[in-house]
Amino acid sequence: MADDAALPLTDESLREEVRAWLAANWTGPLQTDAERKAWMAKVVEARWAVPRWPSEWMGRSLSDAQARIVEREFAAVGAPGTGQDRTNLWANTLLARGTPALKEKLIVPLLCGEVGMCLLYSEPGAGSDLAGIRTRADRQGDHFIVNGQKVWTSYAASADYGMLIARTDWDVPKHRGISFFFLPMKQPGVEVRPLRQITGESQFNEVFITDAVCPAENLLGELGQGWGVLQTALAYERSVMGEGARGPRSGVSEGPGEPLIALAREAGVLSDPLIRQEIARVVGLKKLNALNTARAKADLKQGTSSALMSLGKLAMSRILHEEARVRTLILGAGSLLEGPDHPRAEDANFLTLNAYFTSIGGGTDQIQRNIIGERVLGLPKEPEVDRDIPFREVRTS
């Protein structure tokens, strides 16, 4: 008689297992950072954090459909920690392309949220065209020496590592001379300077890198093949940005359900047919984007990239701008107010300004339209006169 353990796991038995585990371990909202870390460690150890991943890397090798069962059960009790095989940009990129040594060192800490990360992609002269980067990494024995400048880097001041793209070969065309690293950030050769944003915050930074040391084992993918690794990382980033974005800043609850409906009801304008039509348009965009995102995720395999992710990312950008516009429409002249005494107006103005973050981060709206046009719709590519010449011969302004 076959061993029961070898039988396929049914949806119902999985659901019962998750519920039993949560009942035995989840005790309610996490109040402190220490509680959050302890909870995340439990989730990772129980292999619920990345249920789609193979068992050798803290997963359960579940199908996407069964992993969604796990996510729904966690969501039902308000417990965080699962679904990181979809949302953890850092860990997914590392699993797909990292060296065995780096994975052994960082996979679990990344899943537990014990390691701070940032993105070291854009440069002052290479924003939308990331292949034009001039930060360099030169091999010296068992490490690389990195020099250059990065900009628009979120949370660089607190990061332990930065996912870095740097040029390692100047004698090949621009896309083929790039390598991808996990650069240690807490070292003398890395200087972080905050940038003031239009929202008054300073989440973005510029980073100056001078003779910084990066171990060779921190190279992801093959030397000079970092462009492909970057596409994998960008796919995960766009996936996360396409699913959702930052909400209101005031912290004042708008109640359950669709926020725009709650806001319109509170403002006494929910019966206005124009307001109802505008809200319906935003809700429709959200529903359509959820369907497109599900399609894109079904198309995305571990360690690959998908042009369909650009659809969700571009759609979320439009949704955020539209939602901010409708909030302002609902509030009318009241949207001109600001400060803690006027939380609804404060939130409307903040979300109007913050919507541009999604229009720029992870590739601008214009870049997403190019990707969709070329890789989804099959339209002709834009001409690139410097695509096939050695990078050292590329002319710069």
Annotated catalytic residues are 237
Q: Which helix (H) or strand (E) holds 243?
A: helix 226-243
What values do phi and psi take at 145, rounded to 5? Answer: -105, 125
- Reading the block at residue 340, the tokens are 């803690």
Give the C-alpha separation, 385 to 387, whole Å.
Answer: 6
> Residue 356 has which token pair?
């541009």
Region class of 90: left (phi > 0), else alpha (psi between -120 and 50), else beta: alpha
Instruction: Dig out the tokens for 272 from the structure.
Output: 């206005």
CA distance 292 to 287: 9
- Taking a C-beta distance cutoff of 8 angstroms, is the pair 73, 18 a contact? yes
Could you give the 3-state DSSP secondary structure of residue 85?
helix
DSSP 141-181: TTEEEEEEEE-S-TTGGG-SEEEEEEE--SSSBGGGSEEEE
Least Cα distance to 368 among 358, 353, 355 occurs for 358
Q: Are 47 and 62 in contact (CB under 8 A)?
A: no
Q: Whole-angstrom distance between the N-terminal and C-terminal Cα of the chain? A: 74
Six token digits for residue 77: 């009790």
Report which of 137, 106, 103 is spatially closest to residue 120, judged by C-alpha positions: 137
Q: To which residue do tokens 């989840």 refer?
A: 26
